[in-house]
């Protein structure tokens, strides 16, 4: 499994997405399709981007009863995405059901990774709203362990947590990390950020990069800079 840069295609229409992807003549970056674009365009956007030759991380963060997640994952696996995800908070049984649903008749399946605690949830919100009293770092590691026990391939986490996740769950357990910014770039609304080079050093397997590429004056140059810093 190689390191790669995944571009977060956070657009609200197919038109804007293709106008963006058309800039990448000859290159086929790994792209993330999230809720915004998927809910705007439906499964056809996945098929069309796949047809253009891109790898796809379908970021829909499923969380429901095991049976519903299993059946939904079976539908997503027919879309032939390369990676998809769910909330570890749905429990081990839900994660196991997800794997069953995602596995095709020939035994293959897309990579499945878990969201632990969203980075928008802080200690206070976790304690007050979710009644979880343990330190958030322990909760994140526990959820990562549960995901590993359930047979998942990895977790979405902050680049700052990637090293610890590998220590706890093994080097082969994949870390997919958003919150990446260039050293000379705008942080925007992200709180804890790392450069692609730092994310590489700390052991992230995939970085998810949105606005530093999508809002750049020259998105192709920004993407190539990420590849140079993170992969090469
Ligand atoms: O534009 P930016 O690089 O901040 O985009 C990061 C992407 O990663 C967005 O699609 C965002 O929803 C996603 N993400 C995140 N933090 C998480 C989980 C996902 O920024 N904890």
Lowest mean pLDDT among 13-27, 84-98, 175-189: 175-189
Q: Which residues pair with 85 in a beta bridge?
A: 113
CB of 176 within 6 A of ligand 1: the answer is no
Q: Nearest residue CA, atom 13 of ligand 1?
A: 178
Give CA–CA dist 190/127, Å, rounded: 22
CB of 229 within 6 A of ligand 1: the answer is no
Name the pLDDT band for 159 (thresholds 50, 70, 90): confident
Per-residue pLDDT tens over the stretch 95-121: 999 999 999 999 999 999 999 988 888
Instruction: Tell me what the pLDDT averaged over the chain comes to.
Output: 95
Instruction: Identify whether 61 is a catalytic site residue.
Output: yes
Q: How remote is the CA of residue 166 from the centroid of ligand 1, in Å?
A: 21
Average pLDDT score over residue span 145-173 = 95
b/e map 155-164, b = 16+ CB within 10 Å: bbbbbbbbeb
pLDDT score of 178: 95
Query: Is the full-model pTM beyond 0.75?
Result: yes
The residue with greater pLDDT, 223 or 120, is: 223
DSSP 39-68: HHHTHHHHHHHHHTT--EEEEEEE-S-HHH
CB of 196 within 6 A of ligand 1: the answer is no
Average pLDDT score over residue span 72-83 = 96
Pocket test for ligand 1, best of 6, 7, 8, 165 (most atoms within 8 A of CB): 8
CB of 123 within 6 A of ligand 1: the answer is no
Q: What is the CA radius of gyration of the chain?
A: 17
CB of 161 within 6 A of ligand 1: the answer is no
pLDDT score of 75: 95
Average pLDDT score over residue span 186-192 = 81
Q: How remote is the CA of residue 178 from the centroid of ligand 1, in Å?
A: 5
Name the pLDDT band for 1 (thresholds 50, 70, 90): low
Q: Nearest residue CA, atom 2 of ligand 1?
A: 210
pLDDT score of 186: 86
Closest by CA to 127, choosing from 135, 138, 119, is 135
pLDDT at 77 exceeding the cut of 90: yes
Pocket test for ligand 1, best of 143, 208, 226 (most atoms within 8 A of CB): 208
pLDDT at 78 exceeding the cut of 90: yes
Q: Which of 61, 71, 200, 201 is catalytic?
A: 61
Ligand 1, residue 157: give the atom nearest the CA: 21
> For 62, how many CA atoms within 13 A lie in the half-sphere containing its CB?
27
The residue with greater pLDDT, 22 or 185, is: 22
């Amino acid at each position: 499994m190689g390191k790669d840069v995944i571009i977060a295609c956070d657009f609200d229409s197919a038109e804007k997405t293709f106008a963006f992807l058309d800039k990448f003549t000859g290159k086929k970056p790994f792209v993330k399709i999230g809720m915004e674009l998927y809910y705007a365009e439906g499964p056809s956007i996945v098929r069309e981007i796949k047809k253009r030759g891109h790898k796809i991380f379908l970021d829909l963060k499923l969380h429901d009863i095991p049976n519903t997640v299993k059946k939904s994952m079976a539908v997503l696996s027919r879309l032939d995405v390369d990676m998809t995800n769910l909330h570890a908070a749905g429990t081990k049984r839900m994660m196991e059901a997800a794997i069953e649903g995602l596995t095709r008749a020939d035994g293959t399946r897309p990579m499945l990774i878990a969201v632990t605690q969203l980075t928008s949830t802080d200690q206070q919100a976790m304690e007050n709203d979710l009644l979880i009293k343990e330190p958030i770092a322990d909760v994140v590691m526990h959820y990562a362990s549960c995901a590993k026990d359930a047979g998942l391939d990895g977790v979405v986490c902050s680049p700052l947590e990637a090293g610890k996740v590998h220590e706890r769950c093994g080097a082969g357990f994949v870390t997919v990390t958003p919150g990446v910014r260039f050293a000379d770039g705008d942080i925007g609304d992200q709180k804890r950020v790392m450069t692609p080079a730092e994310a590489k050093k700390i052991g992230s397997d995939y970085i998810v990069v949105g606005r530093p590429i999508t809002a750049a004056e020259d998105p192709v140059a920004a993407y190539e800079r990420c590849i140079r810093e993170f992969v090469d």
